[in-house]
Amino acid sequence: MRLRRHRLALGGLLTAALLVALPVVSQQADAPESLLPEGLETAPPPPVESAEPVIAPVPDAPAAALAVPEEAEVAPSPFDLPAATGRSIDVAGPLRLDNGGYGTAAFTGSNGRFVAGVLYRLDTPVASRWAHIVLRRALLSESSAPGGIAPADWIAARARTLLAMGEVDGAVALVDAVPADRYSPSLYRVAGQAHLAAADIGGLCPLAQTGVAVSRDPLWKLLTGMCGAMSGDDLTSASVFDRLKGSDTLDPFDLQLAERVATLSGGGGRAANIEWETVPRLTPYRFGVAVAAGVRVPDARLAGMPPGWVLRAPGIGDTARLAAVRPAAALGIASAQELVSTIAATADDEGLAGSPASRLRSAYAAASLGDRYAALKAIRDEAKTPQARYAALLETALPAARLPVDKRRAAEAPDVIAALLGVGLEREALRWWRVLDGSDAVPRAWGLLASSGGVPVTPERFETWADGDNDEHRARLLLAGLDALGRTRGEGWAAVRTDLGLTPVSNSWTRALASAAARGSAGEVAVLAASGLQCDWRAVPPAHFGAIVAAYVRVGRAQEARLLVAEAVTRG
């Protein structure tokens, strides 16, 4: 029985498996922890060999984890799975070429175990919003499974990475495309994560019985109890919960949450009151089941959950949703339109003046242009952290696109341009260049627009911008990006490279990236590019950044390459 449409909201237990299995770099200190104690997962699979000779760590390499980890291949199940229907899952993904996908050949020539290994080791979030967007589209593309990995395990690797990125809806779309009788053990685990993160117990009910057979994870036993109640089988539900009450693998609080779901489904009055002070932390399971059961999660505890999960969860209050949407936009999870819509939805008639919704309304529709510019500035000035400042730029992009191009507003133009480029509005940003001649804003605006192809790019202009910007790392990033875009042909550039100490780099990571680009494997390029940006912008090596930009261009992602360079100037 398919009960997904009930949307009994549940948000994400097994994310522990998701987060724990990302060993590259360090995990965030405040990352949500698993409900489950160690040792309750299935036995780890044997190590697998890399698709190519193992890529050894090299000095300054952005992805020392290109060797395939153990999680890339799953040990054979000791249990029998349902007989397969024969329906092919070799090609899967909701994005086709006509709606943003990269085509069925997105992973042409790739070795699946190698690419899955990089995905499993990817430490999210990545530095760049545009790299996040490119990776999301690649993982969601309707594409053929690469060689060297079973199709179900390949879908599991893609969905698991999407969850780690905060892309809950995409992860669910992938796992839902696979018939239950084509699941592998790894896909069972990831399906559990995805449907819980999506607040969807009903979507897991068809998998629950086999999940108990293939996994020792208590999630599946809890699901049999919850799903029994949802289908009207109160006796089975009560029996399951009674057996679990004596288990030393479950906190009583977690069982209470499951019983609350059963109670809402008509399973009697067994659930106790939910008292958050009795548990020290909010695990993904507690978040998800509480949302499913309509139990309010304290806002202070929601702050520790991935912003994409909070933003997508049904029934979350305005305060928590507003707190999640800005970081989600900066990461690339939420669009500028969703950011604006979420903020606007928090407006209330009382106390509107000075609120985020009030400032946004003024940015769109204040009576005078001066008031509109003042509102845009107020939004930017309120932000105190680098991520918040970038989110503020994104928030101002759509109202800024409605402003008339005006030479008298040249001083504000760089902030307007940065906002427009942040959401991909290149044409609208370039309109400002023609009115800036002679303005003090020219150097800063030039740096933002240099990658676009719509402004003159010369060594002299670059040096004027770099002298005014006075940040050598950002200058190196821009120069590397312009080199990769082919904007630095002609005399004088060699001296600029020498002055900045920008030299080519060749290592196992750059060679893997170049090889993927040469094969036209846009998907593998997206994955390797993200692995090179799993750090703060200040730590991104300029030569590696240039390699990413060049690879994007070669596989047909030239616009994203230009926007990535502009983002580096804004955030680097």
Number of Cα atoms under 13 Å in the Cβ half of residue 329 = 28
Smallest Cα–Cα separation from 319: which of 284, 346, 357? 346
**pLDDT of amino acid 263:** 87
pLDDT tens digits along 282-297: 887 888 888 888 888 8
Of the listed ranges 156-160, 196-200, 351-355, 412-416, the least confidently predicted one is 351-355
| Residue 63 maps to a domain | yes
Question: What pLDDT shows up at residue 4?
Answer: 33
* pLDDT score at 217: 84
So what's the pLDDT on residue 258? 92
SS (H, E, C) 55-124: CCCCCCCCCCCCCCCHHHCCCCCCCCCCCCCCCCCCEECCECHHHCCCCCCCCCCCEHHHHHHHHHHCCC
Model confidence, pTM: 0.85
Q: Which contiguous run of DSSP H or E holds residue 326? A: helix 318-331
Cβ(21)–Cβ(71) below 8 Å: yes
Task: Read off the pLDDT of each residue in 460-468 and give the average, rounded to a whole number.
Answer: 96
Structure confidence at residue 83 (pLDDT): 41
Q: How many C-beta atoms lie closer than 10 Å to residue 555's C-beta?
A: 26
Is 90 exceeded by the pLDDT of residue 470?
no
What is the per-residue pLDDT for 287? 84
Residue 40 has pLDDT above 60, yes or no: no
- Assign 271 a pLDDT band (cuts: 50, 70, 90): low
Within 13 Å of residue 97, how many CA atoms lie on the same side as its CB? 6
List pLDDT tens digits, range 239-255: 999 999 877 878 889 89
Residue 81 lies in a domain: no
- For residues 219-230, average pLDDT: 91
pLDDT for position 266: 66
Examine residue 511 and state whether it is found in any structural domain, yes or no.
Answer: no
Q: What is the pLDDT of residue 352?
A: 66
Dihedrals φ, ψ of 517, to 5°?
Answer: -65, -40
**Residue 216: band (very low, low, confident or very high) from pLDDT cuts 50, 70, 90:** confident
392 located within any domain: no
pLDDT of 17 strictly over 50:
no
pLDDT (mean) for 375-389: 95
Which whole number is the average pLDDT over 275-282? 89
The 3-state secondary structure of 196-210 reads HHCCCCHHHHHHHHH
Task: Please check whether residue 338 lies inside any domain of the structure.
Answer: no
**Is-contact 407 428, C-beta < 8 A?**
no
Residue 140 binned pLDDT confidence (cut-offs 50, 70, 90): very high
Task: Give Cα 323 distance to the centre of its chain.
Answer: 17
Average pLDDT over residues 58-84: 34
From the number of C-beta atoms within 10 Å of its C-beta (0-12, 13-18, 19+), residue 484 rates as buried
What pLDDT was estimated at residue 441?
A: 95
The residue among 502, 505, 433 whose CA lies nearest residue 474 is 502
Displacement of CA 201 from its chain's centroid (Å)? 23
pLDDT at 13 over 70: no
Q: What is the DSSP string of 339-401?
A: HHHHHHTT--STT-TTSHHHHHHHHHH-SSHHHHHHHHHHHHHH--SHHHHHHHHHHHHHHHH
pLDDT of 43 = 29
Q: If you average pLDDT over residues 411-434, what whole number do you get?
A: 97
HEC string for 432-477: CHHHCCCCCCHHHHHHHHHHHCCCCCCHHHHHHHHHHHCCHHHHHH
Mean pLDDT of 498-519: 96
Q: Which pLDDT score is estimated for 3?
A: 31
User: Can you give the pLDDT at residue 64?
Assistant: 35
In this predicted structure, the answer to whether residue 69 has a pLDDT above a threshold of 50 is no
447 has pLDDT over 90: yes
pLDDT at 181 (0 to 100): 86
Whether the per-residue pLDDT at 351 is higher than 90: the answer is no
Tally the domains of the chain. 1
Q: Which domain holds residue 57?
A: 4-76+97-292
Percent of the chain with pLDDT over 70: 82
Dihedrals phi, psi of 141, to nearest 5 degrees = -65, 140
Looking at the domain assignment, is residue 136 inside a domain?
Answer: yes
Q: Is residue 368 domain-resident?
A: no
pLDDT at 88: 62
Reply yes or no on whether the pLDDT at 85 is more than 60: no
Condensed to tens digits (0 to 9), the pLDDT of residues 312-333 reads 998 888 889 999 999 999 999 9
Q: What is the per-residue pLDDT for 65? A: 33
Lowest mean pLDDT among 42-46, 106-110, 226-230, 292-296: 42-46
What's the pLDDT score for residue 304?
A: 84
Task: Provide mean pLDDT across the span 160-176.
Answer: 95
How is 181-243 classified by DSSP, letter by letter?
A: GG--HHHHHHHHHHHHHTT-SGGGGGGHHHHHHH---HHHHHHHHHHHHHTT-HHHHHHHHHH
**N- to C-terminal Cα separation, the chain:** 51
**Which range among 164-173, 280-289, 369-378, 418-427 shows the weakest confidence by mean pLDDT?**
280-289
Mean of pLDDT over the chain:
83
- Tell whether the torsion through CA atoms of 460, 461, 466 and 467 is positive or negative: positive
Whether residue 213 is contained in a domain is answered as yes
